[in-house]
Amino acid sequence: MTLAADLRLVLGADRVLDHPLDLQIYAKDAGVTPGTVAAVVFPETTQEVAAVVRIAVVHEVPIVARGAGTGLSGGAVPTRPGLVVALTRLNQIWEVDEAAHTAWVGPGVINLELSQHTTPLGLHYAPDPSSQSACTIGGNVGTNAGGPHCLAEGSTVSHILAVELVTAGGDVLLLGGAAPDPIGLDLVGVVVGSEGTMGLVTKVLVKLTENAPEVRTLLLAFPTIEAAAETVSSVVAGGIVPAALELMDRPMIEAVENFKSCGFPLDAAAVLIAEVAGHPAAVEAEAQLVADAGAAAGATEIRIAATAAERDLIWLGRKSAFGAVAYAAPDYYLHDTVVPRTRLVEAMSGIYEIGERYGISMLNVFHAGDGNLHPLVAFDAKEPGMLEKVRAAADEMVKLSIEVGGALSGEHGIGLEKRDLMGEMFSAVDLDAQARLRDAFDPIGILNPDKVLPEGSRCFDFGLVANLDPESAA
């Protein structure tokens, strides 16, 4: 029997796609690299996920977990004809424990819908990627997603207590638990951010965060991007960790205003969106400190949202930023690196210089508070040689970020996009250790192969590692 025929026996005809047009749709995520799909399945229970994994193993077809496909690094894109397991139908919110501030949810639950569900209880799910109206909790676990409000609250890994996982062998594992400090190895930490290479997550125990009693959102306009970055540094140096600190440059402000008209100042070189949250008295004082830091750095306008509607309008502008780019060009490439906050200005100047040298049109919006940069290149992929130019510029930006003490990725993951740059950050011994861990979960190499780790990462015999000359391993 064929792969599709075997899958239909378990899931029925409707939940298995193998028509070439369908396969084309699922061959891409929100990044720029397409892959090749053998079939797409939509299981609805953990047992069905386990069954399709066993079928894929028998047919020796690679398995690629998929949430909403909003990933930007090619994580959900099969490199060889693969079985895409879409987990969007495992979308139940099983159980909310109001007292413990936790919830068991399916991986297909949409990030924003979880917070909307718990709002009447005064709780929310803190990691809020800008894609939160579409991306899934499973995809967030896969990429260890961040978001504007992760500055104070931490990224996805800080909000996951346990995961149920279907392994490469089709077994069901429960990792972690409700206890604050579960005994044994921290395998939840291994799974979060593993991009579907350790197993398929079928249930997640998330932490919920209490809604802050008071929130103040500020919009500060600056004559230079350096002045905005200086404000970020002095706010944090002043001992405050705001809930969010987001920076946008002029090209991005213009794109957003053309798209949504949120009232962002078009004459500013940069705007900083700052949010402080907590006890009303503390919030008042912290908002004043942010405003003072902005004024000291030369802010030309400091606006404090007076109503919930004004606050929502500021955030609408921020969260529409990537959608707004569709007006600028038919394609975009969204970079993701992270640098130490203290090197932000230097990294930004280097990134603008790379953009100019390659003659590419760039817009910037980023989580400035944690040094997470997202230069966005708007381009037309039909222009010959353009995509290659955009990719070459991207590689230079990543290398620059590493040179100033940063990392390959702030939150979008490694996937295919940055796999071959892993050697810029990790030694051969480091990569071998990661490959060894991956082999422990997936000894047959069937889960999302070709992702995250470059070819040849598993390169040492165990006994040799201890005697390795560190120089030759670097």
Ligand X SMILES: Cc1cc2nc3c(=O)[nH]c(=O)nc-3n(C[C@H](O)[C@H](O)[C@H](O)COP(=O)(O)OP(=O)(O)OC[C@H]3O[C@@H](n4cnc5c(N)ncnc54)[C@H](O)[C@@H]3O)c2cc1C
User: Where along the sequence are the contacts to ligand X (CB under 6 A)?
Assistant: 29-30, 64-72, 75-76, 87, 107, 129-131, 135-136, 138-140, 142-143, 145-147, 195-196, 200-201, 322, 411-412, 448
Identity of the residue, 150 or 293, whose beta carbon is nearer to ligand X in the bound complex: 150
| Sign of the C-alpha dihedral computed for residues 71, 76, 77 and 79 taken in this order | positive
We find the least distance from the C-beta atom of residue 470 to ligand X, in angstroms, to be 32
Identity of the residue, 65 or 351, whose beta carbon is nearer to ligand X in the bound complex: 65
Identity of the residue, 118 or 131, whose beta carbon is nearer to ligand X in the bound complex: 131
Identity of the residue, 118 or 155, whose beta carbon is nearer to ligand X in the bound complex: 155
β-strand partners of 297? none
Q: Which amino acid is it at 375?
A: P
Q: Where are the beta strands (DSSP E) in 172-255?
A: 172-176, 200-207, 209-210, 214-222, 244-249
Distance between CA 187 and CA 66 in Å, rounded?
Answer: 21
Identity of the residue, 65 or 297, whose beta carbon is nearer to ligand X in the bound complex: 65
We find the least distance from the C-beta atom of residue 332 to ligand X, in angstroms, to be 9
We find the least distance from the C-beta atom of residue 413 to ligand X, in angstroms, to be 6
Residues ≥6 apart with Cβ < 8 Å to 46:
90, 164, 166, 172, 202, 203
| Sign of the C-alpha dihedral computed for residues 321, 324, 328 and 333 taken in this order | positive
We find the least distance from the C-beta atom of residue 372 to ligand X, in angstroms, to be 8
Half-sphere exposure at residue 420, Cβ-oriented, CA atoms within 13 angstroms: 7
We find the least distance from the C-beta atom of residue 111 to ligand X, in angstroms, to be 8
Distance between CA 206 and CA 161 in Å, rounded?
Answer: 6
We find the least distance from the C-beta atom of residue 65 to ligand X, in angstroms, to be 4
We find the least distance from the C-beta atom of residue 149 to ligand X, in angstroms, to be 10
Distance between CA 397 and CA 372 in Å, rounded?
Answer: 13
Identity of the residue, 217 or 294, whose beta carbon is nearer to ligand X in the bound complex: 217
In the chain, % helix, strand, coil (3-state, to 5) comes to 40, 20, 40
Distance between CA 408 and CA 132 in Å, rounded?
Answer: 23
- Closest listed residue to residue 127, CA positions, set 430, 327, 411, 376: 411
Q: Where are the beta strands (DSSP E) in 56-159?
A: 63-66, 82-86, 93-97, 102-105, 123-124
We find the least distance from the C-beta atom of residue 300 to ligand X, in angstroms, to be 27
Identity of the residue, 283 or 435, whose beta carbon is nearer to ligand X in the bound complex: 435
Tokens of 168: 């490469």
Identity of the residue, 250 or 451, whose beta carbon is nearer to ligand X in the bound complex: 451
CB 204 within 8 A of CB 93: no
